[in-house]
Amino acid sequence: MIVTRGLTKRYGRIQALKGLDMEVPEGAVYGFIGQNGAGKTTTLRILAGLLRADGGQATIGGYDIQRHPRVIHDLVGYMPDFFGVYDDLRVGEYLEFYAAAYGIRGATARTLRDGLLELVDLAAKRDAFVDTLSRGMQQRLCLARALIHDPPVLLLDEPASGLDPLARVEMRELLKELCLMGKTIIISSHILSELADLCTHIGMVADGRILRQGPLEAVLAAARSRRYTMRCLGTADAAVTLLAAFPEVTVGEPRPVNGSGDEQVELVLPGGATQAVAVLRHLIANGVAVTHFAETWTNLETTFIELAREETA
Ligand code: ATP
């Protein structure tokens, strides 16, 4: 549904995007994660048609974003990470104003306005001034605005930023509802734990490039299958010495296991499961009493930090 190839963007001396390749299947909720300055906002603004890339290509629904700006405008709803100031505008008027920008007026606009306010749980605030809303309410109003022309694609830039825990939960519930409506959604965030149970897909971005992307479980599984925890009966010293036979394997410090006298060691095996079998075979053949040897459970956060670290290295 959304594909970019070799997208580049420079701001003066800063190369914000360095050949970004993104693939978002139709109906996916794609968590676009990366640290501050990684290039998330730049990518989303290019996809929304608000910024021109210097190089590369981007298509949405098969339409090139530069050659078909009108189509992209209709296909995409964009929620920026910054909510502008709207003095003297009431919530209902705000939505009617944006509806008019899409040529929707009169009774149709009013029905649409009320439906969207219901969806984002702001019906009771229809006549309140926009600048009196809480941050969470403003974010939800901003989302309603992005939905005004019922676009199949939503680009949401940090929709939960600056929200308190309750407002975050409300925003998440709302996003789940949008998923059920079958929209293709990109959500950018640097709060990884929040995305894990919302997203079907993940794209990890660092320094203007995608490090890994794909279905959430596949991205996590690929990272997990490289990290192993090994436990030995008694000290792990002999195992650590024997592991020198595998120079590409990273071996952690042996740590005691709950006062049992046994020790455990964390291993990173670039060769994945095949290497794990070779390592285990070597240890056992040399008389090490291994009591546990399994993939280490890792979360999204650890996976991302490790990949970003490898990339920098
Ligand atoms: P954040 O999570 O902080 O919003 P981000 O991942 O969205 O970060 P971008 O806003 O896309 O990152 O910024 C990417 C890089 O481009 C950063 O180094 C940023 O400082 C720079 N940049 C972004 N916008 C501009 C601009 N208008 N002028 C100059 N540099 C910019």
Per residue in 59-71, pLDDT (tens digit) is 999 999 999 999 9
Structure tokens, 59: 């298509």
Lowest mean pLDDT among 30-34, 128-132, 148-152, 163-167: 163-167
- Alpha carbon of 26 to ligand 1 centroid (Å): 27
Q: How far is CA 219 from the centre of its chain?
A: 12
| Exposed / middle / buried, residue 129 (Cβ in 10 Å: 0-12, 13-18, 19+) | middle
Look at residue 166 and tell me whether its pLDDT is greater than 70. yes
Query: Which of 7, 13, 42, 82 for mutating ligand 1's site (highest number of atoms within 8 Å of CB)?
Result: 42
Inform me whether the pLDDT recorded for 162 exceeds 80. Answer: no
Angle at 31 between CA 41 and CA 74, to 5 degrees: 60
**Tokens representing residue 236 in the block:** 């792990």
Write the CB contacts of 13 (distance below 8 Å, at least 6 apart in sequence).
none
pLDDT of residue 195: 72
Beta strands at 201-206 and 29-33: parallel, antiparallel or unpaired: parallel
Q: Is the CB of 39 under 6 A from ligand 1?
A: yes
Q: Evaluate if residue 237 carries a pLDDT over 70.
A: yes
Greater confidence, 78 or 226? Answer: 78
Q: Is the pLDDT of residue 246 over 80?
A: yes
**For residue 227, what are the β-bridge partners?**
268
Q: pLDDT tier at 266 (50, 70, 90 boundaries)?
A: very high
Q: How confident is the model at residue 161 (pLDDT cuts 50, 70, 90)?
A: confident
pLDDT of 8 > 90? The answer is yes
Question: What is d(CA 180, CA 25) in angstroms, rounded to the nearest whole number?
Answer: 15
240 vs 265: CA distance, rounded Å:
8
Residue nearest to atom 30 of ligand 1 (CA): 11
Cα gap 178→187, rounded to integer Å: 12
Cα separations in angstroms, 245 against 140, 214, 279? 57, 34, 9
What are the CA-CA distances from residue 225 to residues 84, 157, 232 (Å)?
A: 45, 31, 20
The single residue listed with the structure tokens 């008389």 is 287
What's the 16 CA to ligand 1 centre distance in angstroms?
A: 7
The candidate with the shortest Cα–Cα distance to 48, out of 23, 72, 81, is 72
pTM as predicted = 0.83
